[in-house]
């Protein structure tokens, strides 16, 4: 019997995402000026106020207030009527030194440059389990409902920032949700429901406002998203889609003034939209020694390369750690019965373990994680994004540093050949 599956996304102006972006901007600046920094930075945003808290071990000094204001300004909170504005909001920093008790198991001092010694010396920054997922549903190997939910808000953001004359009333905060009907053999049949709630300027006539926003989302935003999709996905759009556009009505009060935002509160939006699984650990605000982040990227890297290699059509990869211990506690793989080889999932996992070194130091090196690459992850998902090399500029006091970095390295299909060789594909 056909079934429905739903995923949601939130815009860069959503209060939780504002917090994520501030935390990751701090990570990037620490990485730019001291790549060995150990950072766990949480951000809270509310009406007219930003609170920064966390633990840091670093050899650099940053003007955290300036960095936070730059992020808020870039997102678009630049008007006093938003009740949260880049130049005027208060910023309180309660960042302090990292616990020596935690650091002793993560950052053991060694004098050699030998890879094996270094890899065995760096233990995991915490216990826990991390998951990666990949599917053939989309070209970027992401679940379709989440991919469409992201794309709707990315288009809305593009219009607000670059084509504002089309929908001049848009404000930064927004949410989307997409429900897809699947067949018994798990193929998407059609889009059942689309939900979009966008913050907007005040209107003199609420009824006219609701009708205008509804018409603009359905007739401007959705067609711009649809035309960028491949033909078989465009066919999922039909006249029977149920649209809920700003279903609660007026949405003038939004952003951190409407709801308090916290770092790490959108972990399902950040990953796979509810498909697969999640270990519970957030990503933003954490340096790569924290396996909540680095191992989640590494398992996505494994999963995507497995599917791209033709080993399976869909896969969930889990890795787990003990704090201070380099070697993972275990690697689990579930191909959902889609494996193309005559092996059990346990046997597949043993072979994958020989291809991918999952010790934290090895992950950092393989995915180039001690670079300032994290601001770009903090809105519209950490997975399914475009791997690319960019130049980024960072300023500290009177010093400016321009760095060329590679973004979203965990999205590279650079292990496909190794997997094919190992499994005789």
**Binding site, annotated residues:** 14, 16, 42, 55, 98, 173-175, 250-251, 259, 265-266, 282, 286, 290
DSSP 8-state class, residue 263 = T
CB 189 within 8 Å of CB 2 = yes
**Which residue, among 63, 74, 17, 14, has the nearest Cα to 43 in the 3D structure?**
17
**Which residue, among 242, 284, 303, 280, has the nearest Cα to 4 in the 3D structure?**
242
Residues comprising the binding site for ATP? 14, 173-175, 250-251, 259, 265-266, 282, 286
CB within 8 Å of 232: residues ≥ 6 apart = none
Calculate ∠ Cα 97-23-399, nearest 5°: 75
**Which residue, among 60, 61, 19, 62, has the nearest Cα to 41 in the 3D structure?**
19
33: tokens are: 């000026």
Distance separating the N- and C-terminal Cα atoms of the chain? 33
User: Residue 224: enclosing H or E segment and its boundaries?
Assistant: helix 222-226
Question: Among all chains, which residue has been given the structure tokens 């997997």?
Answer: 419
Residues comprising the binding site for K(+)? 42
Q: How far apart, in Å, are the Cα atoms of 265 and each of 81, 102, 178?
A: 26, 24, 20
> Exposed/middle/buried for 226, CB within 10 Å: 0-12, 13-18, 19+?
middle
What is the total residue count of the chain?
Answer: 425
Residues comprising the binding site for Mg(2+)? 16
Question: Would you call 280 helix, strand, or coil by DSSP?
Answer: coil
Q: Is the dihedral of CA 124, 130, 135, 140 positive or negative?
A: negative
CB 107 within 8 Å of CB 38 = yes
């Amino acid at each position: 019997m056909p079934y429905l599956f739903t995923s949601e996304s939130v815009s860069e102006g959503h209060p939780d995402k504002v917090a994520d972006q501030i935390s990751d901007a701090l990570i990037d600046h620490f990485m730019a000026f001291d790549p060995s920094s150990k950072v766990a930075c949480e951000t809270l945003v509310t009406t007219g106020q930003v609170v920064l808290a966390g633990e840091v071990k670093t050899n650099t000094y940053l003007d955290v207030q300036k960095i936070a204001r730059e992020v808020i300004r870039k997102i678009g909170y630049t008007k006093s009527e938003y009740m949260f504005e880049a130049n005027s909001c208060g910023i309180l920093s309660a960042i302090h030194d990292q616990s020596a008790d935690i650091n002793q198991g993560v950052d053991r001092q060694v004098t050699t440059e030998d890879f094996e010694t270094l890899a065995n010396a760096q233990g995991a920054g915490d216990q826990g389990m991390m998951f990666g997922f990949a599917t053939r549903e989309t070209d970027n190997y992401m679940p379709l409902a989440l991919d469409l939910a992201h794309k709707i808000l990315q288009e809305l953001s593009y219009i607000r920032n670059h084509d504002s004359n089309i929908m001049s009333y848009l404000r930064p905060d927004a949410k989307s949700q997409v429900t897809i009907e699947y067949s018994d053999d798990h193929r998407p049949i059609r889009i059942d429901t689309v939900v979009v709630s966008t913050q907007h300027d005040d209107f003199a006539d609420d009824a006219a406002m609701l009708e205008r926003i509804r018409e603009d989302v359905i007739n401007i935003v959705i067609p711009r998203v649809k035309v960028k999709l491949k033909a078989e996905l465009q066919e999922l759009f039909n006249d029977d889609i149920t649209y809920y556009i700003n279903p609660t009505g007026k949405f003038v009060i939004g952003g951190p003034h409407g709801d308090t935002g916290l770092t790490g509160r959108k972990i399902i939006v950040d990953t796979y939209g509810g498909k697969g699984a999640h270990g519970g650990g957030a990503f933003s605000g954490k340096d790569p020694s924290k396996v909540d982040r680095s191992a989640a990227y590494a398992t996505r890297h494994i999963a995507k390369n497995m599917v791209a290699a033709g080993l399976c059509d869909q896969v969930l990869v889990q890795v787990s750690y003990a704090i201070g211990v380099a070697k993972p506690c275990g690697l689990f793989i579930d191909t959902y019965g889609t494996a193309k080889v005559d092996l059990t999932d346990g046997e597949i996992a043993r072979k994958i373990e020989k291809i991918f070194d999952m010790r934290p130091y090895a992950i950092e090196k393989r995915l180039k994680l001690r670079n300032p690459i994290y601001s770009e992850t903090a809105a519209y998902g950490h997975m399914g994004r475009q791997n690319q090399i960019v130049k980024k500029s960072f300023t500290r006091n009177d010093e400016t540093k321009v760095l060329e970095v590679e973004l979203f390295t965990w999205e590279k299909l650079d292990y496909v050949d190794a997997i094919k060789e190992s499994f005789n594909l």
